[in-house]
Amino acid sequence: MSAPERAGRRVGVHLGLPKTGTTFLQRKIFPAWRQVRYIGGLDSVRNLVERADAPVVLVSDESLWFQRPDSGDPYWTEYGDLGVVRASLARIAGVFPGARAIVSLRRHSTYILSLYKQYLHQGGRRTLEEFFSLEPGEGLLRAEYIEFRPFLEAVEAQFGRPVLFLQGELRTSLAEVLGRIGAALGVPPPGASEIEEMLADPLDAMASNTGVAAAPAQVLRVLNHVSRSAYNPGGLLPLRSRLLTRLRLDPRTVCQSGIVAHLLPSKPLGFPDAVRQQVEERFAEDWSFVKERIAEDQAAG
């Protein structure tokens, strides 16, 4: 498949999903890929303008198609509103006509857990059971909100078939994933030595963004009850401030890597086995669709 072009320019837009290795790609891989000009979510308008006329542009921002997660409970309704998603994708396609979409996913059960940890980091106060439920109409994050097939079909309607990969592939077959992205953009992927250089930094971005453990999560929810955030506008104390962050005393840091994390058991936060099995059964058909799409893409070369 030929790379999309506009006046000789080829554009790839990595849409996430969030919590699927996006931080790893944005910090360690995309900026160091010499054959492309990377535009990340935190780039200024000046940087966007200066880089936008490069022959090959790679844009990555997993929040382009929905509202930022620090906007409180209404965010989750918008996250699951396909009308909002389709409108956002249409706007992105309008800004980058002819672009090739890039989408990363992960298994539903781990995706839900990662979204829940992010919710806690942003000041959320609900338990995991209150945050997500398989029961119709219950939970802040509802099962119908995270079905991947409707999202992929919405992406395909605007951009054509996306480059699709799983978070786990970034650990097991990074070179192959970059090869698929490079082929879509018409550029060679990073070689083995280039990838080794990308990964030389001892900071593992994927590992450093793993979230809070089970016992510290209970403390974090208590701290979030008194912290002021989009989820709790009446909180007494700020969820984040320069001073708290500098002293590493903000709730997230205290519970994820600070004193609370060191004093309490480090058992990972997760679903009970029976619930996890129910979640995977609920999304089995959706997950099979994703795996089949990836297999078809790999077979097509």
- Domain ranges in the chain? 10-131+146-203+283-300, 214-263
What global pTM score does this model have?
Answer: 0.89
Q: What letter would DSSP give residue 25?
A: I
Q: Could you report the per-residue pLDDT of 64-93, keeping only the tens digit for each?
A: 887 555 566 666 776 778 888 898 999 999
What does the pLDDT read at residue 47? 72
**Residue 89, burial from CB neighbour count under 10 angstroms (0-12, 13-18, 19+):** buried
- State the pLDDT at residue 202: 53
Quickly name the fold that domain 10-131+146-203+283-300 has.
Answer: Rossmann fold (3.40.50)
pLDDT at 62: 86
Q: Which residues contact 238 (CB under 8 A, 6 or more apart)?
A: 227, 228, 244
Taking alpha carbons only, the member of 61, 66, 63, 106 closest to residue 82 is 66
pLDDT recorded at residue 43: 65
Q: Which pLDDT value is given to residue 49?
A: 73
pLDDT at 5: 45
Give pLDDT < 70 ranges for the chain.
1-8, 41-45, 52, 67-75, 78, 201-210
- Whose structure tokens read 């996250």? 79
Residues 122 and 256: beta-carbon distance below 8 Å: no
Number of C-beta neighbours around residue 214 at 10 A: 14
The predicted pLDDT at position 3 comes to 46
- Confirm if 60 and 22 have CB atoms less than 8 A apart: yes
